[in-house]
Structure 1
Amino acid sequence: MARSREFDTEAAVEAAMSAFRRKGYEGTSVQDLVDATGVGRGSLYGAFKSKDGLYLAAVDRYRELYAQPLIEILRGGAPARELIREILVDLVDEIVRDGSRQACLIVSAATERVPHDPQVARRIRSTTGSLEDALTDVIAEAQESGQLTGTRDARDLARFLVTTLQGLRVMGSINPDRRSLMSAVEVALSCLD
């Protein structure tokens, strides 16, 4: 008879997610994951099959915690310019507050795992694609209603804003200076004119 799992899987995934954010996939050893989760090696392997399995669960949890809420906010119907500004400013504030400079798991996965891991690549493309779609809808509706000018293609602007979001995360991990990051935000917002 198989033993039942004796640990909180969700808590273990979140602890592993933090470990991967601090050290990346390659830099995080199985022992690091054991230490972070407080779960024995055998139990982790029993639940997730491998380090890769736990990483995929961590990426999925990160998407649930960070990407999905952002997409829901975009679908909420607030005025486009104010909504996009609020999202960008909130991101800058989050970056500046994060004293540990944890990496965005989407950014680190894109650079570290996407080139050679099809499962991670699918998840990251799906996440950034959903964000781009939501931004495209917001921008297109705002252009149709006259809230934003229609001089630029809504899809192109959405791609640019996704790039800006990810770029802010990268630059914020290098130098979390609010003034510098906000200057980039203001330039990005000017592209909506």
Structure 2
Amino acid sequence: MARTREFDTGQAVAAAMEAFRRKGYEGTSMRDLTEATGVGSGSLYAAFGSKDGLYLAALDLYRQRYAVPLIDLLRTHGDARAVIREVFLSTVGDIAADGRRLACLIVAGAMERARDDKRVAERLKATTRALELALFDVLAEGQLRGRIPGDRGPADLAAFLVTSLQGLRVMGAIDPDRDALTRSAEVALTCLG
């Protein structure tokens, strides 16, 4: 008879996600994960198969917690410039509020794991692509309504804005100065005319 899982897998994934954000994938040992989650390594292996499986679950949770709210915000159908600006300022606020300077798992995963792990690369690509598509929709509608200049295609603008958002996260990991990050965000937003 199979044993009943005696821990909350959602809580374990959340704790593991924070451990990976603090130390990266390579820097996080199974011991770190058992300490962070309060779950024994055998139970973690039984639930997730491996450290890699737990990392993939952490990436999925990170997307739900950090990317999906931005995508949902973009789909609120407000003024294109205002909603995109709100996404940027919300991102800056998250970075500045994170005094622990935890890594963005999208950026960290891209630098540390995507080259060698196709599953990680696919998850990162899907997350950034979803954000890009949401931006594309807002930009295309803004151009149709004449609120965003049409001199650049919405796909190119969306790709640039995602790159800029991720750049803010990289710079915020170096120095989470809200004023400096806000100024950089405002420069990026000049692409909207």
**Residue aligning to 2:113:** 113
With the length of structure 2 as denominator, give the TM-score of the two structures: 0.98
Matching residue of 2:162: 162
Structural mapping, 1:66-145, within 5 Å: 66-145=66-145
Structure 2 residue matching 1:184: 3-state secondary structure: helix
Partner Cα distance (1:104, 1:188) in 2: 20
Matches of 1:92 and 1:72 in 2, distance apart?
17
Deviation at 1:133, TM superposition (A): 0.8
Match of 2:11 in 1: 11
> Following TM superposition, by how much is the alpha carbon of 1:151 offset from its aligned partner in structure 2, in angstroms?
1.2
Structure 1 residue runs of 4 or more that deviate by more than 3 Å after TM superposition: none
In the alignment, does 2:41 pair up with 1:41?
yes
* Alpha-carbon distance in structure 1 between the residues aligned to 2:132 and 2:16: 27
Q: Show CA shifts across 1:8-61 (max 9, x none).
A: 000000000000001000000000000000000110011011000000000011
- C-alpha distance in 2, partners of 1:189/1:44? 43
The Cα offsets for residues 61-113 of structure 1, whole Å up to 9 and x where unpaired, read as 11111111211111111111001111111111111111100111111011111
- Post-superposition offset of 1:149: 1.1
* Residues 8-17 or 179-188, more deviating: 179-188
CA distance in 2, matches of 1:156, 1:121: 21
Residue identity matched to 2:36: A
Alignment partner of 1:26 is 2:22: no
RMSD of aligned alpha carbons:
0.7
Cα distance in structure 2, aligned partners of 1:137 and 1:27? 38
- What CA deviation, in whole Å up to 9, does each residue of 1:100-151 have, x standing for no partner? 0011111101111100101111111011011111101100100010111111
3-state DSSP of counterpart to 2:192: coil
Equivalents in 2 of 1:111, 1:5: separation in Å?
Answer: 34
Please list every run of 5 or more consecutive structure 2 residues that lacks an aligned counterpart in the other structure: none
State the alpha-carbon separation in 1 of the partners of residues 144 and 130 from structure 2: 21
Percent identity between matched residues is 61
Give secondary structure in 2 for the equivalent of 1:66: helix
